[in-house]
Structure 1
Amino acid sequence: MRAAEATSAGRVYGGRSAGEREADRRARLLAAAHDIVGTQGYAALTVERLCARANVSSRSFYQLYDGKEAAFADLYDELLVRSGAKVVASLAATEGEPLAERVPAALLAYLVPLFDDLRAARIVFVEVVGLSTRIESTRLRNREKLIELIVAEGEAAVVRGEAADRDWRFAALSLIGSATAVALDWMLRTERPAVTLLERQLGELAVTLLTATPRTRP
């Protein structure tokens, strides 16, 4: 960075640094994208509408993103990272509990924040489907983190004698895929079952997939 640019970047205006102002603009853009896509769909998202809703200039927008898809990818990643952090927190809170309690609780910790905000649920389960290779890459990267957590929990449960060994990656993929399909179906239904019912069913599914004795050993 040139000296003049470095000086500009380090200036403080209104008591906030350049980095703080940029973080604020990003937060406002993500909040605006969350509301637009979560209520009207990705097709309704334009750079002009996003900037107007966030009260951010187009010049400032393009300093952060190369277009609306990049902004949406950032929002999607942010939602998944937040839910992923809930999973980690849940596993920490249930340390020492059996697998049949830890994993369902972690699964619900991931899903409940999304079910609590139908805009977020629409973004994560509906709007991202088949959208682009960039969005798919974000989805797969975050899915891999969940797989690693489930595999680690399963292998630890085997050592403790709580579960029979199995192909834990297959089990993790089955659980994540099933939960995603159920959540998508729930979002698309005109009359949705109660969230509490959905949570109970998904919890039971997790227990079945991860603790039932497999017919064949790996």
Structure 2
Amino acid sequence: MRPYRGVPAEQRRAGRRAALLAAGLDLLGTQGWAAATVRGVSARAGLNDRYFYESFADLDALLLAVVDDQAAQATDMIQAVADGAPRRLRARTTAVVTAIVDFLAADPRRARILAYEFPASPLLQQRRRRITGVLAGIFTAQVHELLDEVPLSETDLAMTALTIVSGLWELLSAWFRGEVDTDRDHLVDYVVALLLTTTDLAPALDHRLR
């Protein structure tokens, strides 16, 4: 296809897809996905609804794309913060936990999606399992990087990672719903302390912290 007003067709399609993603995030993070329609999302994006199907097969495909985009931003942020933090367990743990809480709190739409939309959607519950697996993988990789000797088998470490990630997901969801009566600083301190004293990792953590 020829460029329109100097803009190549592929670039225009990418722009329309980005607008739909932004509209999907706004709708999901404010009114909730139950209120979504193809026409409503398209109108919010400033597009004719015929352009919706240029990028997405249906509303479920857009919903997953919105969540995947936010999850990718979060995992990229976590990895970048970890890479930039000192190779010391407490310092890196504090940096990463603080960054996660602040990432979610910085945009109320993200907090609402975590706290309300994931629990309400079977489709997002399925996607949560994939995201949890990615985050557990990051946790496992950080343990291997920071500890000279990991006092757990790979199976036990994988179970520990899954338990921690799943538990923190629930804790942060409850906190954003107002069900946990504590402030942001105490929440961060609690999570850091929990991570530093988790089950059989404690002896190695004590050695590292000396």
Confirm or deny that 1:169 pairs with 2:158: yes
SS at match of 2:98: helix
- 1:12–1:43 distance in 2 versus 1, CA, 3 Å: same
Asked if residue 119 in structure 1 is aligned to residue 109 in structure 2, the reply is yes
Question: 1-side partners of 2:191 and 2:12: how far apart?
Answer: 41
Contact kept in structure 2, 1:115 and 1:195, CA below 8 Å = no
What's the offset of the Cα at 1:104? 3.9
2:203 to 206, 209, 213: 213
1:146 maps onto 2:135 in alignment: yes
List alignment gaps of at least 5 residues for structure 1: 1-7
| Bigger mean CA deviation after superposition, 72-81 or 116-125 | 116-125
* 1:129 maps onto 2:116 in alignment: no
Alpha-carbon deviations, 1:23-75, whole Å to 9, x = none?
Answer: 21122112112222211111111111111111112111011112212111100
1:58 aligns with 2:49: yes
Shifted more, 14-23 versus 179-188: the winner is 14-23
Tell me the SS of whatever aligns to 2:57: coil
User: What is the CA-CA distance between 1:194 and the residue it aligns to?
Assistant: 2.6
Query: Structure 2 residue aligned with 1:35, among 5, 26, 31?
Result: 26
Q: Is 1:103 aligned to 2:93, yes or no?
A: yes
Q: 1:17 to 1:111 in 2, by over 3 A?
A: farther
- Cα displacement (A) at 1:192: 5.9
Cα distance, 1:132 vs structure 2:
2.9
AA at the equivalent of 1:140? R
Identity, % of aligned pairs? 27
State the alpha-carbon separation in 1 of the partners of residues 69 and 198 from structure 2.
28
Cα RMSD for the two superposed structures: 2.3
Does the 8 Å CA contact 1:104/1:207 hold for their aligned counterparts?
Answer: no
Structure 1 position 199, deviation (Å): 2.2
What is the rounded CA distance, in whole Å, between the counterparts of 1:146 and 1:65 in structure 2? 26
Q: Is 1:13 aligned to residue 13 of structure 2?
A: no
Tell me how far 1:120 sits from its aligned partner.
Answer: 0.8
The structure 2 residue matched to 1:179, chosen from 159, 168, 173, is 168
Q: CA deviation at 1:108?
A: 3.3
1:82 alignment partner in structure 2: 73
Q: In the alignment, residue 152 of structure 2 is paired with which amino acid?
A: D
Matched, 1:195 2:184: yes
CA distance in 1, matches of 2:99, 2:162: 18
Name the TM-score, length of structure 1 as normaliser: 0.81
Distance in 2, Cα, partners of 1:64 & 1:206: 41
TM-score (norm 2): 0.84
- What is the rounded CA distance, in whole Å, between the counterparts of 1:196 and 1:12 in structure 2? 52
